[in-house]
Amino acid sequence: MGLLAQYLFVRERAGLNMPVAAIAFLVAGWLVRDGANSTRAWRLAAASSSLAFAALCAIRTEAAVVFFDAAAAFLFAGAFVLACAGTSLAAPVIALVDDAMAMVGAAFVRPFGVWVAALPAARGSLVRASPVAGYAAGGLIAVPFLVVFGALFAAADAVFERSLRDLLELAWLRDLMRDAPARTTIAFLAAWVTTGAFAQITWRASRGPARARVPGVLPSDAAFAALALIDALFVGFVALQIAYLFGGRDTIDAAGVTYSAYGRRGFFELVVVSAIVAVLLFACDILLRSRGRAYAAAALTLLVLTAAVVVSAGYRMALYQQAYGWSELRLYTFAGIGFIACALVILGWAVLARRMERALPALVAAAAAAALAVNAIAPADFVARRNIERVLHPASLPEDASRGLDVGYLVTLGEGAIPALFELAPELPSPERSAVLEVLRAATLRSETTVGWQSWNLDRERARSIVVRASGPGIFMR
């Protein structure tokens, strides 16, 4: 895994290297799995999810999307290791946390002991692998002598010195020597973490069973009182939202605030409020000593009121988007709102069914679904198309909406937006069309010509082929 990681990732961008690394990790984990304890269904679910998100890194180029996809692939790979060790991903939260923390600790502190313990078996394997192992060992022994004798011969003969210099100046050897520190570091870190993570599969049995749940420390009446007070505050806020935000344009105009400005203000605060409520209810339900009807009613009321807050946040963002157009951040925000709405539904079910400790897989599935939806939309392409369409069809926009095309922002969308620019630019008015042409010409000048197969990416390849077409004669003359 260490040697493969340095080959895949040093001086390479995210692309095919991500699914290749994921496949190698999953195969290695499958080979060392604990057949007696592993949970097959969860192992398959975690492995397929990790591979799916890793494959998406070879499709999308948006930095935020690729970062999230890579993080999700890494986390699902960790879940795969837990499943190989016999942990059910539907187990209570405290059990999952115990096993996850044990795996993280193993990844950092256990590899050295594993390698020391493996030395006798490795030595025996080398003996059985003769004569290949003997040749390799002889080559290692000869290296210092080759260096010394080569230096002496170079000092003794000018022709040999020039030949040796020509050999050392080969491009591949020069690149290898230049990247040696980075490759060594990546290889060591990948080997270290992988060894520790897989060691957890075979050593988990020595830890004993994890706790089934957190001991209740929060009285039910205290939780009810806290939620009731929070409910009262939410009722007042939601009432104002119904009166002003959902009352139409006339109510906002009467307050002396533009519709777009009112939509922009407070949006992120409302999203944070919704997220805090979700975490609060999750923690409260887990820490409760007992769950009475009063607590359940207060919790469900808070969820309903929070849903109204989420609707308000989404409506505000919709107003702002209508006024100023789309951006990647606004698209991700709508996806976040969708996830929060799903999370509230899941939490409501967990409160009613008294299964909050087992709600984590459903929440993870909702987050994965939102991420997959964003990947399917192709954010850069979507944003570029919608913003160009605003310029082409401005009749449906609000009166105070911006009607220009922010070409400077389109430049920042990267390779994913180039197909949309190439396709729709001929339909733009003259000033905007000229500006978009300059964007494509700039992309032509900075296009990459030498990229390893590890960095191959579908969006990047589509953009490269379009840039090649755009760099020819008669650009956009179609």
CA 390/CA 327 separation, integer angstroms: 13
At residue 239, the 3 state secondary structure works out as helix
Q: 341 or 283: whose pLDDT is higher?
A: 341
User: For the residues 184-213, what does the mean pLDDT come to?
Assistant: 75
> What three-state secondary structure class fits 198?
helix
- % of the chain exceeding 90 in pLDDT: 20
In the chain, the amino acid numbered 123 is R
Higher pLDDT, 143 or 188: 188
Strand partners of residue 288: 218
Q: Tell me the pLDDT tens digit for each residue of 253-272.
A: 544 555 555 555 566 777 78
Question: Would you say 99 and 87 are in contact if contact means Cβ atoms under 8 Å apart?
Answer: yes
Q: How confident is the model at residue 429 (pLDDT cuts 50, 70, 90)?
A: confident
DSSP code of 202?
Answer: H
On the question of pLDDT at 139 being above 90, the answer is no
Among positive and negative, which fits the CA dihedral 43, 49, 53, 56? positive
What phi, psi does 397 have (nearest 5°)?
-80, 150
Q: Which of 446, 445, 432 is nearest to 476 (CA)?
A: 432
Q: What is the mean pLDDT of residues 66-81?
A: 93
CA gap 335, 417 in Å, rounded = 19
| Structure letter (DSSP) for residue 245 | G
**Banded model confidence at residue 478, pLDDT cuts 50, 70, 90:** very low
Residue with the larger pLDDT of the pair 373 and 39: 373
In this structure, of 138-142, 302-306, 467-471, the range with the lowest mean pLDDT score is 467-471
pLDDT over 70 at 175, yes or no: no
Residue 443 has what pLDDT?
62
Instruction: List the single range of 106-115, 122-131, 246-255 with lowest mean pLDDT.
Output: 246-255
- Is 19 in a helix, a strand, or coil? helix
**Mean pLDDT of all residues in 144-170:** 75
Sorting pLDDT into bands at 50, 70 and 90, what band is 236? confident
DSSP state letters, 329-366: HHHHHHHHHHHHHHHHHHHHHHHHHT-GGG-HHHHHHH
**pLDDT class of 451 with cuts at 50, 70, 90:** low
The torsion defined by the Cα of 448, 453, 459 and 464, in degrees rounded to 10, comes to: 30
3-class secondary structure for 164-184? HHHHHCCHHHHHHHHCHHHHH
Angle at alpha carbon of residue 451, lines to 445 and 455, rounded to 5°: 120
Q: For residue range 320-352, list pLDDT tens digits in order.
A: 888 888 889 889 989 988 998 999 999 999 888
Closest to 19 (Cα-Cα) out of 44, 51, 46: 51
Rounded CA separation 351/354 (Å): 5
Distance separating alpha carbons of residues 309 and 267, to the nearest angstrom: 10
Prediction pTM value? 0.79
Q: What is the pLDDT of residue 381?
A: 92
DSSP string, 104-146: HHHHHHSHHHHHHHHHHHHHHHHHHTTTHHHHHHHHHHHHHHH
**pLDDT score for 477:** 45
Contact 202, 117 (CB under 8 A): no
pLDDT digits (tens, 9 = 90+) for 215-229: 667 787 888 888 899
Residue 292 — φ and ψ, nearest 5°? -95, 175
- The top-scoring range by mean pLDDT among 26-30, 240-244, 288-292 is 26-30
Region 295-314: mean pLDDT is 87
pLDDT score, position 16 = 93
DSSP state of 288: B
Average pLDDT, the chain: 80
pLDDT in tens, 78-87: 999 888 888 8
More confident residue, 441 or 184: 184
More confident residue, 13 or 207: 13
Relative orientation angle of helices 220-243 and 293-324, to the nearest 10 degrees:
30
Average pLDDT score over residue span 187-213: 73
pLDDT attached to residue 452: 81
Please enumerate in sequence order all residues whose Cβ is within 8 A of that of 207, keeping only pairs 6 or more positions apart, or say none. Answer: 102
Average pLDDT over residues 417-438: 80
285 CB-near residues (< 8 Å, 6+ apart): 291, 299, 350, 351, 356, 357
